Amino acid sequence: MTVQESTKASSDILVNAQALHGFVQRLWLKAGSSPTEAGLVADHLVMANLTGHDSHGVGMIPRYVKSLRDGVLALNQHVAIVRDAGAVLTVDGVRGFGQVVAYEAMDLGIERAKAMGICAVGLRNAHHIGRIGHWAEQCARQGLVSFHFVNVAGSVHVSPWGGSDGRFGTNPFCAAFPRKGKEPLVLDFATSGIAQGKARVAYNKGAKVAEGCLIDAQGRPTTDPRVMFEAPHGALRTFGEHKGHGLAMMCELFSGALTGGYTTHAETRVKHSGIINCMLSVIINPEAFDAADTEAEAEAFIEWVKASPRSTGTDQIFAPGEPERLRIAQRRSAGIPIDPGTWSEIIAAATALDMPQSDIASVHEAG
Ligand SMILES: NC(=O)c1ccc[n+]([C@@H]2O[C@H](COP(=O)([O-])OP(=O)(O)OC[C@H]3O[C@@H](n4cnc5c(N)ncnc54)[C@H](O)[C@@H]3O)[C@@H](O)[C@H]2O)c1
C-alpha cells in the first residue's frame, strides 16, 4: 500500500495549513473562546486534517457552532477533578471543548504517570474530543505509553453484530508506543468500519462508502451514506464482525460506566446536536518496568515485521501511525484538500458568527 493524496477531487480547494490554523483560531476567538482555547482547537482540527482524518478536522466546525448555539458546548471551561485516588483520577469535562479538557486531563495523567509509574484517567462529560491519536501523541511526546477507550455517549450510529439498528457510537480505541528519537507508533481507529465523519465526508462529496460499512433502515447492506443523514435512518456496522462489536462494547463500558460518565441506552440516547465523549486513558511510564531493553526489543520486532515479503500490489508495510506521518508531510507541502460542500458549510458557520467576509476569503486566497 502506498499512502498518496488519493482523497483530493478536482473540485476540492487546497488550503495552506498555517492559513487554515489562523482562520480556525480567529473563528473561535470571534465565538468567544480565550486565545488559549482558540489555539488548542485550531491545533487539533488542523492536525486531524494534516494526518488525513478529515472526518475530525475543520469539517467539524459547523457542528461545533451548532452545538454552541444549542447550549450543549460550553466555551472556556476547564477540567474539574472529581476524585483524586492517586494513580486513578476522575475528571469532569463539564461539556467544555474536548480539545481543551482532554488536553488538560492528559497533562494531569502525564504528571501522575511520571511520578507513580501509571495513571488511569477517567474523563467524562467532555464535548467532542476529536482524533484520539492527538491525546496518545501528547503522552508519547513525554516518553509514555498509553491506551485510550472512548465512547460517544448516547450516540446510536452503530449497529451491534447481529443487530439491525444503531445501539452505540463509533467508540474509538487508541494505543501509542513511544520510541526514542523516532515517531511513536499510534494505533487509532473507530470501532465502526468507518468513522461517522467519514460517512459525512462521502455524503458531502456525493460519493459511496466501501461495502460492508452501512445498513439501511431495514437492516440491509448499503453503500449509500445518505442513510446516516436522511430519514429513514440506517446505521454503521462495526469493523471485524464480532471482534469490533466486542471492542466497541468494552470501550463503552470502560469509558462510560467505569469513569462515572454514562453509557448509551434508552434514557441517555442523544436528542441534541452536541457530541459528548467519555474516555478512559491508561498512561504508563515504560521506565517503571524491569525490562532490560524495551527499545531494542521493540525495534527488533518492528524491523522483523517490515521485512515480510510484499504481497501483490503492496510496496510498503506500515507500522500504526506511519500513514498519518506521511500524509502530514504531503499536506504540509501540497496543502489540505477541502471539498466544496464542507467548505461552504464552514463559511456559513463563520458568517453566522459574524466573521468578516474578507477574513474568510483570505484563507481561500492563501490556498
Ligand atoms: N471522538 C470521537 O468520538 C471519535 C469517534 C470515532 C472515531 N474518532 C477518530 O476518527 C479517526 C479516524 O478513525 P478511522 O476508524 O477512520 O481510522 P482508520 O480506519 O483510517 O485507521 C487508522 C489507523 O490505522 C492505521 N493504518 C491505516 N492504514 C494502515 C496500513 N496500511 N498499515 C498499517 N496501519 C495502517 C493508522 O496508522 C491508524 O492507526 C481516528 O482518529 C479516531 O480517533 C473519534
The neighbour count for residue 38, using CB atoms within 10 Å, is 23
Distance from C-alpha of 261 to C-alpha of 153, rounded to nearest angstrom: 8
pLDDT value for 1 = 43
Distance 266 CA to ligand 1 centre (A): 28
Q: Is the CB of 129 under 6 A from ligand 1?
A: yes
Neighbours of 293 (CB within 10 A): 9
Pull the grid cell for residue 84. Answer: 483524586
What's the confidence (pLDDT) of residue 2? 45
Candidates 47, 187, 189: which one to mutate for ligand 1, based on the most atoms within 8 Å of Cβ? 189
Q: Whose CA is nearest to atom 17 of ligand 1?
A: 189
The x, y and z cell numbers of residue 220, run together, are: 440491509
Predicted local confidence at residue 271, as pLDDT: 80
- The grid coordinates listed for 301 are 520486532
In terms of residues, how long is the chain? Answer: 367
Residue with cell 452536541: 274
Written as tens digits, the pLDDT of the chain (367 aa) is 444 454 566 688 999 999 999 999 999 999 999 999 999 999 999 999 999 999 999 999 999 999 999 999 999 999 999 999 999 999 999 999 999 999 999 999 999 999 999 999 999 999 999 999 999 999 999 999 999 999 999 999 999 999 999 999 999 999 999 999 999 999 999 999 998 888 988 998 899 999 999 999 999 999 999 999 999 999 999 999 999 999 999 999 999 999 999 999 999 998 878 899 999 999 999 999 998 899 999 999 999 999 999 999 999 999 999 999 999 999 999 999 999 989 999 999 999 999 988 888 778 666 6
- The answer, yes or no, to whether any atom of ligand 1 lies below 6 A from the CB of 198, is yes
- Asked if 259 and 122 touch (Cβ cutoff 8 Å), the reply is yes
Q: Is the dihedral of CA 359, 362, 363, 364 positive or negative?
A: positive
Is residue 300 lining ligand 1, measured as CB closer than 6 Å? no
- Protein residue closest via CA to atom 19 of ligand 1: 189
Domains of the chain and CATH, by start:
77-190+242-289 (3.30.1370.60), 193-237 (3.30.60.50)
Q: Is the CB of 59 under 6 A from ligand 1?
A: no
Ligand 1 atom closest to the CA of 155, numbered from 1 = 3
Q: Quick one: how far is CA 70 from the chain centroid?
A: 22
Q: What is the DSSP letter of 257?
A: I
pLDDT of residue 25: 97
Q: How many angstroms separate the CA atoms of 133 and 328, rounded?
A: 14
Interhelix angle for 35-50 vs 17-31, to 10°?
Answer: 140
Output the CA 356–ligand 1 centroid distance in Å.
35
User: Atom 26 (ligand 1): residue with closest C-alpha?
Assistant: 320
